[in-house]
Each structure stands twice: as structure tokens, then as C-alpha cells.
Amino acid sequence: MHEKCGVVGVSLADRAAARPLYYALYALQHRGQESAGIITHDGFQQHSHVEMGLVGDAFDPADIASLNGSNGIGHVRYPTAGSVDSSCAQPFSVSFKSGSLGLSHNGNLVNAGALRDELAGLGHAFTSDGDTEVIAHDLARNLLDSGLVEAVERTMGKIHGSYSLTVMHDDRVLGLRDPQGNRPLCLGELEDGYVLASESAAIDALDGELIRDVRPGELVVLDPDGSGYSTYRLTTLDHTAHCFFEHVYFARPDSTIDGKLVYEVRRELGRKLWAENGIDTDVVMPVPDSGRAFASGYAEAANENEGSVEFAEGLMKNRYVGRTFIMPTQDERERAVRLKLNPITSTVEDKTVTLIDDSIVRGTTSTQLVELLRDVGASEVHLRIGSPAITAPCYMGIDMATREELIAADRTVEEVRETIDADSLAYLSPGAIADALDTERDDLCMGCITGEYPYDIDGEPTDRPVRQPVIADD
């Protein structure tokens, strides 16, 4: 399961939650395009609308009007290659003896199987193979004999992996971030209530104010009348495991995540890329849009030091082509890159070019682009990448390809350069990422570049002393 998603929750004084949730999901659309959903609660009952497709297609005005109540949660789900499965669309909802529950999950549990087996043994029936349903059932069970905070704490003691959740228990909206804070989640204030969202750009879309990030291991409970919130730090660990790739690629550049504006982080990474591996060429150009902030920081640093690098757009992006990454075959992925990006001849012809992107995963994009730039007359093509080489899969929720598909998994930098056919290739160092984020390497999840993970994943080494909880009937 690769659940790289966007979550939101709002509690308002006396306004329907559906429309603000809908706008927030629009702002989080980049985090998931497979399905979109909203669940609200009107004080008596839940209302739900979950549909496959983009936010704009999933809801019509009648759907929004039918979602009554001033409290609610929403979700956008990331597409995975292969089958599109509506049973995994979210928010997930379940009614049980002590009320109704709705869950929106971003992340990936690594012990969902064990927990599912335990709950199935106790008579719980599951309708999907997703890990969110497992969390929902465990929480529902705990709520039968515990108060809300204690029930969440008990569930938290059993689940292992990355999760940022917005949850609705009857009309109460909560936000929960895993003890290592892998996936982002933040809290904001609106004129007439409060909001929890994966990224602050969703709070901006509602004219709200970002209050702060939800802390790792923290539960935030919104008052159903929109008047305030309570917070509970349920666990505190020595180190966090924030996902650096949110800053590099996934999050919107206009979002603030864990106290840092993503755009500024990317520009700083670009500056460091120049400092570590700058090369003098006629022109510096980004791969749009993923390389843009990196390239502007890189060119700025180059000009401070050398004086005369031209920063130009050399590739035009067709914004109507979806993500090439999720195309099922290599042939289709290559075709899609050519459809998506077309060169601007005047900036490329007879020039030495530095092409900047955030990351190389399978190598499809960079191989295609180097060839394309050479075809239109670039005399040299140098690649500079704003993150370290990705050599291992992500188990924490980013759809990153398997180890066999990763171009750098079993190649040296020189071998990758050769495969891509660039004149030179350089990546950014892991240390530069930690520096740009003003943090320690130990506080970041770098599993995809080191192959060692901050979670206890079957068959993989860990980078810190972590253990899956022992699952036993309590």
C-alpha cells in the first residue's frame, strides 16, 4: 500500500463545514488525485460523500449541500500504479456501539497485518485491505471502554508506522501525528473555528492563520462549536523522523512544514547544490515545475560567485498531462515525458546547459530530457539534482517505485550518469538537506537514500532503536 495523501478536518461555530473542506481539498489536490471524500456530522448523524477522481469532479453542488453539519473531515488519495480500488477511498467511516467514526489517513502502517489478524480473531469484519480500516476498528474497540484521549493513546501504542490522521468521533474532530512525525500535519485558526490540515496552503485557502505544526505524538481535539481546541502530547521520543522528501518534492512550495517555508528550503537546497557541485555553463534551467525553486537558488548562488550565468526556461510544460510517474509501463512513461515537456529552442541551441531537478527516481525523466536537449542542439547537458540519490524504496507513504526500478539502487553516480547520457551528474549530500532544514540528520527519515529506516520494517534495517509493538489482546 502506498498512501501518500492529503487530510483535513474543521470545526466551525455555526457554518456548514462541507464547503471549507471542499476548498481545503482543492488546495491539497497535489497530494492525491485518485479519490476525494468528505464526512460531516450534524450533531445527530454522519453524512458522507466519497468519490473516485479529482476534487472538482467528485463533488457537485448537491453533494456539498447534502453534507450537513459544522464539523467534518476530508481526504484526497494518491494514485498508485495498477488497479484503482474504490474500497480504499477515504475518509473511511464506521458506526459502532458507542458512536460513529470517520478517519482520514496519510501515511503507511508497517504492522497493519498483525493488528488486522488480531482484530479479525476478535470478530471484526473488514471491508477493505487498507490500514486505515485497521486503525478505525482498533479505535472503535477502545472507545467501548475508554474515554476519547485514552482510547487514542491505546491505539497509538499498537500501531507502528507513519500516520497523520484527521478523525471524527461523532461530531468531534481530532488530529493525530505519529510519534516520529513522519508525515506533516498542522493546525490553523479560522474566523469562526479551527482547522487541521496536511499542509498550511489549505489553511491559507480558507483565509485562516497557521497556528503551528501538530507535534510528533500529539493529539489535537477541536471543540465541536469551533470555540477552541485541546492538545495532548501522548508520546515524546528523543528524535523525530520527518520525511525530507516532503520538502524536496511532495509538498507545495507555498506551504510551511515543520516551521519551514518549503519554497525557501528548496531555494536553499539549490544554493547548496551550487556550493557542493556547481559547474560553469551558458545557461541554468529547471525541469518545470519540480526543479524551479532549486534552479533559482542555484543560479543565484552561481551569479554571486561567478557573475554571469543565464537563468532561463528551456522547457515548456503542458500542464494538462498528468503525472508520468504513475503510468504503468516504461514505454508509456517515456511517451508521456515527451508530451509533457517540450524544449524552447532559442535557450538551448549551441549552449552548454545545466538542467536542475529535485530528484531522480527511475531515471525516465532525466534520460528523456537529456536526449531532448541534445536533439535541439545543446552542446553539453549537465544534470544537478537537489536531493541525494534515491537507492531504496519508501515504506512510509511515498509511491517511489521498487528497488529494482530505482536507477540508483545498484549503480554508482558515474554509472547513473552514463545511463542517462549526461555530460556530468551530481546529487546533493544528505548533510546539505539537514543543514537547509536547520535540523539533525537523526531527526529526518532518510530511508529512501540510506536503506535504513526509522521504523521497524520486516526485512529492512533500522537507523535507530525502534521496535514494532507486541500485538496481544489487551
Interface positions with ligand AMP (CB under 6 A): 249, 287, 290, 323, 325, 357-366, 398-400
* Residue 414 CB burial class (10 angstroms; 0-12, 13-18, ≥19): exposed
Q: How far is the CB of 435 from ligand AMP (least distance, A)?
A: 22
Residue for cell digits 512510509?
396
Which among 354, 386, 448, 355 has a CA at the least distance from the CA of 248?
A: 386
Nearer Cβ to ligand AMP, position 79 or 179? 79
Whether 357 has a binding-site annotation, put simply, is yes
Four-residue CA torsion sign, 253, 71, 136, 33: negative
Whether 394 has a binding-site annotation, put simply, is yes
* DSSP code at position 428: P
Nearer Cβ to ligand AMP, position 25 or 356? 356
Which among 227, 164, 170, 171 has a CA at the least distance from the CA of 196?
A: 164
CA–CA dist 149, 365 (Å, integer) = 46
Which among 24, 83, 93, 17 has a CA at the least distance from the CA of 55?
A: 24
Whether 186 has a binding-site annotation, put simply, is no
Q: How far is the CB of 290 from ligand AMP (least distance, A)?
A: 3
Consecutive H or E run containing 212: strand 209-213
What's at 141, amino acid-wise? R
For 134, how many CA atoms within 13 A lie in the half-sphere containing its CB? 24
For 375, how many CA atoms within 13 A lie in the half-sphere containing its CB? 10
* DSSP code at position 88: G
Residue for cell digits 546533493?
428
Nearer Cβ to ligand AMP, position 308 or 329? 329
Helices (H) and strands (E) in the chain, counts: 16, 24
Q: How far is the CB of 164 from ligand AMP (least distance, A)?
A: 17
Q: How far is the CB of 324 from ligand AMP (least distance, A)?
A: 7
| 5 is an active site residue | yes
Nearer Cβ to ligand AMP, position 196 or 422? 422
Written as one string, the DSSP assignment of 64-78 is: HHH--SSEEEEEEE-
Q: How far is the CB of 360 from ligand AMP (least distance, A)?
A: 4
Written as one string, the DSSP assignment of 344-361 is: -HHHHTT-EEEEEES--S
Q: Which residues pair with 260 in a beta bridge?
A: 257
Q: Which cell numbers in the block locate residue 276?
A: 557542493
Q: How far is the CB of 218 from ligand AMP (least distance, A)?
A: 27
* Rg, Å, the chain Cα set: 23
Nearer Cβ to ligand AMP, position 187 or 273? 273
The active-site residue out of 2, 3, 4, 5 is 5
Whether 243 has a binding-site annotation, put simply, is yes
Q: How far is the CB of 277 from ligand AMP (least distance, A)?
A: 18
What's at 22, amino acid-wise? Y
* Residue 149 CB burial class (10 angstroms; 0-12, 13-18, ≥19): middle
Nearer Cβ to ligand AMP, position 258 or 358? 358
CA–CA dist 377, 11 (Å, integer) = 57
Nearer Cβ to ligand AMP, position 209 or 254? 254
CA distances from 117 to 12, 122, 136, 256 (A): 38, 9, 14, 38
Whether 289 has a binding-site annotation, put simply, is no
Whether 11 has a binding-site annotation, put simply, is no
> Which residues sit in the known binding site for [4Fe-4S] cluster?
243, 394, 445, 448
> Which residues sit in the known binding site?
243, 290, 357-358, 394, 445, 448
> Which residues sit in the known binding site for Mg(2+)?
290, 357-358
Residues with catalytic annotation? 5
